[in-house]
Amino acid sequence: MNQFVRHEYSESTHRLALGVETWDAARQQPVLTPLWVGFDDVLLGHVRPLFDLHPSNRYALRYDSWLASQARQIDIRLMDAMDERVSIERSGRRYVPRRLRITVPTLAAAESNPPSGRGCQPWLYPGATYPLSQTATGLRARVMRAAAGPLPRRPARWVRVVATLPAGSAIADVAELNALPSARVVGRAMGDDRGEFLLLVPPAAAQAGTAASMPVRLIVLARVEQAVPADRPDLPTIDPCWDLPVETPASLAVTDAVLRGETTTAGFAIVAQREISLPLGRLLRGVADIEI
């Protein structure tokens, strides 16, 4: 039986389960370059519903019988794609990938709420090949894990970096960092699988006056290095993001701190701090690696 048109017509209805509109954390606007958005575990051979890509670069997951029957907790992955031939295996590195754990309600529950409650706007942070203005203020650097026992010196994967003011004020722990007033946080970055990060300071956060540089305190956060599962020694070969942390937002609201990447992911701790002077209107490069 048709729901919207007369019975002599053929009717096909699609219901939105989850809409995703990614935002560029540095520019504070939607990401318009190619991305790959989908279920996190498709590389492991699982058959999952596909996200539809719309011309606006928004992604839509539609209800099917599996999603509609009961509330499902799904892990999705968002990552940059090299070109229009989007692929989960080929990242362009303009943005650092993210994993999000989101609960999709039953169709009946979703229908009882406003349609806007089915969409989210996760932020993506600049990666190694992010296109930059020549006058951007920021820092390009790398975080490395020190050699330990049989392990050589190696990249610290998926670190988080926060730039705070004043530069001389040390941060005791994650709780203190999360409680800082927004005015004291002048930049955030996410590191990639090679330990590289690109921290950009918005023009509005630059200090007023005639100073040529801006001293900040860099806070590096990381979690314990993940071990390859004993039953899947081939996992790093199959999935380059196998140890990317999964983040669980409290809601799908645009103000959710997890979606915006503005809160510390569970399991992360402060592992290094460094005072650094950022030249205003220029990207600082060539600084010594931060070793943890």
Task: Find the DSSP H helices in the chain.
Answer: 65-69, 107-111, 174-178, 235-238
Query: Which residue(s) pair with 277 in the sheet?
Result: 215
Give the separation between CA 262 and CA 123, rounded to whole angstroms: 9
Enter the tokens of residue 201.
Answer: 């300071």
Q: Give the CA distances from residue 97 to residues 60, 131, 168, 182, in Å, rounded to whole numbers and listed in that order.
A: 18, 16, 32, 24
In tens, the pLDDT along 175-201 reads 999 999 999 999 999 999 999 999 999
Range scoring the smallest mean pLDDT among 31-45, 65-79, 252-266: 31-45
Q: What is the band of 142 on the pLDDT scale with cuts at 50, 70, 90?
A: very high
109-133 in b/e form (b: 16+ CB < 10 A) is: ebeeeeeeebbbbbbbbbbbebeee
Q: Are 19 and 120 in contact (CB under 8 A)?
A: yes
The pLDDT assigned to 5 comes to: 83
Q: Give the CA distances from residue 265 to residues 28, 37, 177, 222, 240, in Å, rounded to whole numbers and listed in that order.
A: 21, 21, 12, 9, 20
The pLDDT assigned to 206 comes to: 65
Domain ranges within the chain, ordered by starting residue = 12-126, 138-224+267-291
The CATH number of domain 138-224+267-291 is 1.10.3470:
no
Provide mean pLDDT across the span 223-227: 95
Give the separation between CA 40 and CA 77, rounded to whole angstroms: 5
H or E segment at 83?
Answer: none
The pLDDT assigned to 287 comes to: 93
Say if residue 88's pLDDT is above 80: no
**CATH architecture observed for domain 12-126:** Sandwich (2.60)
Q: What is the percentage of the chain residues whose pLDDT exceeds 70?
A: 95
The pLDDT assigned to 223 comes to: 96
Q: What is the band of 70 on the pLDDT scale with cuts at 50, 70, 90?
A: very high
The pLDDT assigned to 155 comes to: 97
Say if residue 151's pLDDT is above 70: yes
In tens, the pLDDT along 22-68 reads 999 999 999 998 899 999 988 888 888 899 999 888 999 999 999 99
Say if residue 283's pLDDT is above 90: yes
Say if residue 277's pLDDT is above 70: yes
Asked if the domains 12-126 and 138-224+267-291 are classified in one and the same CATH topology, the answer is yes
Q: Phi first, then psi: what are they for 17, rounded to 5°? A: -95, -45
